Amino acid sequence: MDKLLVHGGTSLAGAINISGSKNASLPILAAALLTDQQVIIERVPDVSDTNYMLQILSALGCEVERYSGTVKITAANIHPEAPYEIVRKMRASICVMGPLVARLGRASVSIPGGCVIGDRPIDLHLKGLQAIGAHIDTEGGNILIEAKDGLKGREVDLRGRHGPTVLGTDNLMMAAVLTEGTTIIESAACEPEVVDLADFLNSMGAKIEGAGTRRITIEGVTSLGGTHHTVIPDRIEAGTFMVAGAMSSESGITLNRVRQDQLVGATEKLIEAGHLVNFNDDGSSVTVSPGDTPQGCSITTAPHPGFPTDMQAQFTAMFATTPGISVIEDTIFPQRFMHCAELTRMGADINVDNGSAVVHGVKELSPAPVMASDLRASAALVLAGLRAKGTTEINRLYHIDRGYEMIDEKLLQLGAKVERMRGSA
């Protein structure tokens, strides 16, 4: 297993380009299953999660070509069984269900495992597909979905006890585009990645309105064609590096290929915490630098357009050395605090209780060997390591490689002193 040595305490400077969004790419890659025509998708980040999705698509019978960030997929002769050995590695595999049942009338996908950020139920995914006529069975750890009597458009409310579901909205939207009649998704997720998927589907000939609002209307069509699409920037990668600019640079760092309208939550909280955030005229580039009097503040995650749960671990790392008290509440994944124990090993003063973390800012963190646990927790540890003077060793780097494209190269470009140690196992 690879590990990352972060020789912290140096000030970051310079600029990097932000990659295409992992969380937009995954459902868009799955949506290629909806047509037998070739689709070309640009700016797909080369991370293990997108690699897993391409392996699943190949296993389903798709022709897949990939060179640098461009992916070409033709799903001409596909079958409906997604292989367990790949699906178990990545929860987002679940979003092949909707396209498969719409295109082939059936799908067999293994039930995704849980993960450290909390249990990851799929009841809302199944509720949506059942509402338009799919029959659901489970057999040997697989979910079997069949549209025995075809699919029929219906109105469905997808709200769960933690609010809307991003991939659940995606799954139903992808099934509905080839479903006779009109499907209306109430309490739909509004994340930019859902909008990017809707744009991709509409460019294939789908008829989707209202993506980005809580009510999405899909008029079914009989078939979809090929398309050429560029994925939106990764707002969570951008937000992660914005925090790096606030906590580990003197003169600030600049992130190119971003979208200001997708970074409102992180921007507002960085400014509230006393830091400087400046976008260029068209909002495609942002420079973040530390303010003179940073102060702790409170964060409560919420479905978009609220503060993203995928950004709370990174802000917790920043608040660890921010004067004052900060309170972080995650209403979407109340157990998503694995990073706090590791940050505490670096000298942070954090108390986690019942879905919230209370952080008392300390003067400095001290380097230590730490263990990555999930994608965003690992990013928080890298941020802490950049701040702590000395060498922080981050083990189980594969967690970061799931969603941050070439993170070591990007950090080196910003002047960070990092070394990736290739592991044997």
The residue ranges that bind ligand EPZ (CB under 6 A) are 23, 26, 91-92, 120-125, 160, 162, 165-168, 189, 193, 309-310, 332-333, 375-376, 403
Q: Which is nearer to ligand EPZ, 378 or 392 (CB)?
A: 378
Least Cβ distance, residue 53 to ligand EPZ (angstroms): 10
Q: Are 188 and 169 in contact (CB under 8 A)?
A: yes
Cα(416)–Cα(244) distance, integer angstroms: 11
CB of 8 to ligand EPZ, least distance (A): 23
Tell the smallest beta-carbon distance from residue 194 to ligand EPZ (Å): 9
Question: Tokens at residue 25, please?
Answer: 């790419």
| Residue that the structure tokens 């219906």 belong to | 154
CB of 115 to ligand EPZ, least distance (A): 8
| Complex with ligand EPZ: residue 123 or 137, whichever CB lies closer | 123
**Cis, bond preceding 305 (omega within 30 deg of 0):** yes
User: What is the C-alpha to C-alpha distance for residues 158 and 122, in angstroms, rounded to an integer?
Assistant: 11
When the beta carbons of 61 and 306 are compared against ligand EPZ, the nearer one is: 306
Pairing of strands 325-329, 356-360: antiparallel
Q: 148-185 burial string, b = 16+ CB within 10 Å, else e? A: eeebebbebbbeeebbbbbbbbbbbbbbbbbbbeebbb
Q: Please say which residue, 26 or 211, places its beta carbon nearer to ligand EPZ.
A: 26
CB of 290 to ligand EPZ, least distance (A): 25
Q: What is the DSSP string of 151-162?
A: -B--EEE--BTT
Q: Write out the H or E segment, with its range, that includes residue 317.
A: helix 312-319
Q: What gap in Å lies between CA 176 and CA 204, rounded to an integer? A: 14
Per DSSP (E only), the strands in 50-157 are: 63-67, 70-74, 106-110, 135-139, 142-146, 155-157
Q: Which residue type, as a one-letter code, is found at position 211?
A: A
Cβ nearer to ligand EPZ, comparing 95 with 388: 95
Query: Is 95 labeled as catalytic in the residue annotation?
Result: no
The DSSP letter of residue 233 is B
Active-site hit among 95, 115, 190, 340: 115
> Which of 193, 408 has the CB closer to ligand EPZ?
193
Structural tokens at position 199: 């744009």
Active site amino acids: 115
